[in-house]
Amino acid sequence: MTKTQTTNAQDARTGIQPTLNPGDEAPPGTMGTGEDVCPDCHGKGRIDGAPCATCGGSGTITRAIGGA
Protein backbone atom coordinates (compact mmCIF):
# COMPACT_ATOMS: atom_id res chain seq x y z
CA MET A 1 0.00 0.00 0.00
CA THR A 2 1.33 3.36 0.94
CA LYS A 3 4.98 3.09 1.59
CA THR A 4 6.06 5.90 3.79
CA GLN A 5 9.68 6.50 3.23
CA THR A 6 11.17 8.08 6.24
CA THR A 7 14.49 8.71 4.70
CA ASN A 8 15.04 12.32 5.42
CA ALA A 9 18.63 11.93 4.49
CA GLN A 10 19.08 15.62 3.99
CA ASP A 11 20.95 16.03 7.19
CA ALA A 12 22.48 19.35 8.01
CA ARG A 13 25.85 17.74 8.33
CA THR A 14 26.20 16.88 4.69
CA GLY A 15 23.80 19.50 3.49
CA ILE A 16 24.23 23.00 2.34
CA GLN A 17 27.49 24.36 3.56
CA PRO A 18 28.20 27.89 2.47
CA THR A 19 31.72 28.54 1.45
CA LEU A 20 33.52 28.98 4.69
CA ASN A 21 37.08 30.12 4.63
CA PRO A 22 39.53 29.43 7.44
CA GLY A 23 39.32 33.05 8.46
CA ASP A 24 35.58 33.04 8.67
CA GLU A 25 34.11 32.83 12.11
CA ALA A 26 30.62 32.09 10.88
CA PRO A 27 28.82 31.34 7.65
CA PRO A 28 27.88 34.43 5.68
CA GLY A 29 24.48 35.74 6.60
CA THR A 30 24.63 34.53 10.16
CA MET A 31 23.06 36.86 12.65
CA GLY A 32 25.57 38.89 14.54
CA THR A 33 28.25 38.60 11.94
CA GLY A 34 29.68 41.00 9.46
CA GLU A 35 32.32 41.25 6.83
CA ASP A 36 35.71 42.42 7.86
CA VAL A 37 38.99 42.89 6.11
CA CYS A 38 41.08 39.78 6.21
CA PRO A 39 43.69 40.18 8.93
CA ASP A 40 46.21 38.14 7.01
CA CYS A 41 46.21 39.75 3.59
CA HIS A 42 44.64 43.02 4.68
CA GLY A 43 41.99 42.93 2.00
CA LYS A 44 44.31 42.18 -0.88
CA GLY A 45 43.21 38.61 -1.21
CA ARG A 46 46.70 37.38 -1.82
CA ILE A 47 49.91 36.98 0.03
CA ASP A 48 53.14 37.04 -1.92
CA GLY A 49 51.21 36.52 -5.13
CA ALA A 50 49.38 33.48 -3.86
CA PRO A 51 45.71 33.49 -2.93
CA CYS A 52 45.25 34.08 0.75
CA ALA A 53 44.12 30.90 2.45
CA THR A 54 42.51 32.69 5.32
CA CYS A 55 39.92 34.52 3.27
CA GLY A 56 40.03 32.31 0.23
CA GLY A 57 41.31 35.15 -1.88
CA SER A 58 38.29 37.33 -1.32
CA GLY A 59 40.10 39.76 0.92
CA THR A 60 37.32 39.71 3.45
CA ILE A 61 36.25 37.37 6.18
CA THR A 62 33.04 36.89 8.06
CA ARG A 63 33.59 37.95 11.60
CA ALA A 64 31.37 37.42 14.58
CA ILE A 65 30.57 40.85 15.85
CA GLY A 66 29.22 39.51 19.07
CA GLY A 67 26.35 41.89 19.56
CA ALA A 68 23.86 40.11 21.78
Identified binder of Zn ion from the candidate list 24, 55, 62, 63, rule CB under 5 A: 55
Closest by Cα among 63, 14, 8, 20 to 38 = 63
**Binding-site size, Zn ion (CB under 5 A):** 6
Draw the binding track, 5-44, toward Zn ion (x: CB under 5 A; -: no contact).
Answer: ---------------------------------x-xx---
- Residue of 52, 62, 64, 65 that binds Zn ion (CB under 5 A): 52
| Site of interaction with Zn ion (CB under 5 A) | 38, 40-41, 52, 54-55
